[in-house]
Structure 1
Amino acid sequence: MELSNQINKILDLKQTPKRIVSLVPSQTELLFDLGLENNIVGITKFCVHPYHLKQTKEIVGGTKNIKIDKIKALNPDIILCNKEENTKEIVETCLKIAPVHVSELNTIDDTLELIQFYGEKFSCRTEAAKIIQKINFKLNDFKTFIKSIESKKVAYFIWKDPWMVAGNNTYINHLLQLNKFVNIYQNKERYPEIELKKIRLEGDPDLVFLSSEPYPFKEEHAFEIGRYTHHAKTVFVDGEMFSWHGSRLIKALDYFKKLHHRIV
């Protein structure tokens, strides 16, 4: 069986994978929603949805630091990675143990493609089709909703020390665009470091989003940023809704509606 990675590399599998190690939290959640809980043998410490998996599955490290001996001992049929979540070194190390599928997800279309791919390769086509149908229904409904919403300029913060934001060619930026949020850093690299004192010169946002992950922003950070913005409203947002792929989109599209009601 040939598996085509989203990074354009081919994997050859002799049969449907039964023992899966997932090094990507959002993809772990997707596997569960596809009915593959019994096939998951290893996950990362950041795979928190559904939470009970942390008690029933082997924890093989983080997304950037894996415990290779634990993965090897699980004798996986396949290891699931992501181009952004995991390093090239991790992928190369895992390839010495089992076939590795590496996803690259920058758009909703990419996510739908991954769900369909998992459905085909893990023999759960019906479950995958149901999730895709739900996402498309929610997406069409959201596109109708967003038509009446005015666009706003936004800066989406993901880190402090140094201050970092979401830039161009990211899944976060794609979802910001869906929401008619104009990212003032959309013409910069994927996750640029920025100087707070220049934020007004670089776009003067209407909204400043402080993501719940990967950095745990607090009120003190909102106050610090506020010293350099003019009229911008600071909003704490659920980072999982803006950055997790897969079945999380079903919840995210509902969340976005509530977010717009909050910032009116």
Structure 2
Amino acid sequence: MQPVSSQWILYQRAQRRRSDRPALIFAITSALGWRSAFFVLGGGGVLWFSVWVLSTASPKLEPVWHDDPREGDAPKEKLARIIVQIIRSPRFLPVLVVAVLINPCLYFSVNWLPTYFAQQHGLLPGSQLGWILTAIYLGVGVGNFLCGAGVLTLTRRGRPLAAARRTVFLLATVPLSICAAVPLMRLSPAVFALVAVNIGLGIWVAMYLTMVQDVSAAHVSTALGLLSGCGSLAGAVAMWAVGRVTQHTHSFALPMAAFSVSAVISAIAGWAASRETSLKGGTV
């Protein structure tokens, strides 16, 4: 089994790359054409894999990639029992609420903002829309960074880890609540508002991953799979609902209001999860 911190770091890096990918695609497409996006991203993947293989070949990382031989003879826990333990955790329900609300918000941002700009502001696919979406989606990556940097700064100033996390995700909820007002804005203010929204969303995505660790420190991967699977299912249903609502109302007012409400409810659930958790020695 990988150490908890290693599992979280690897997953967070994958999540950050996934959230930054739309921005890279739009930027490359605008500058070089859509065919170039395939070659540039594919070449970047090959380069990243090569660097990753070389940088992780150190003997010091041997415990990360291989099970401890001393654990080979230990009895294996049944998956059903592990899942029951996770569900019985007092932190499971509030973190589940965060998962089924924050994941749909991320999916909405990635999948529906291009349609929003096309329908509400008349922007057709092209360089202008490409650069707007690039700026917005880069906000998610900035938020990922600010989450860790904010918690680290607060803890170095003497705040307990749990309190630092609460402060960061409560502050991140403020820009997310702005989303409800975006349909009332002109193009330029809407773009700036959505950049702020996605920065807050990036903070929340990273914070959600830290909350998963506190559900089950011994079975982080299983807890992450269970919670994120529920979040993905909720996201799929929510994206279908957004399509139905916008088709009938010809407006994004209701989906964006639901986005803001989801953020507030997630903040309440996150507060409940952090109050239940003893985070001494936790991972930022």
**TM-score category (smaller protein):** under 0.3
TM-score, scaled relative to structure 2 = 0.23
Larger helix proportion of the pair: 2
Q: Which has the higher contact order (CA 8 A, sep 6+)?
A: 2
Task: Specify the structure having the higher radius of gyration (Cα).
Answer: 2
TM-score, scaled relative to structure 1 = 0.24
Larger strand proportion of the pair: 1
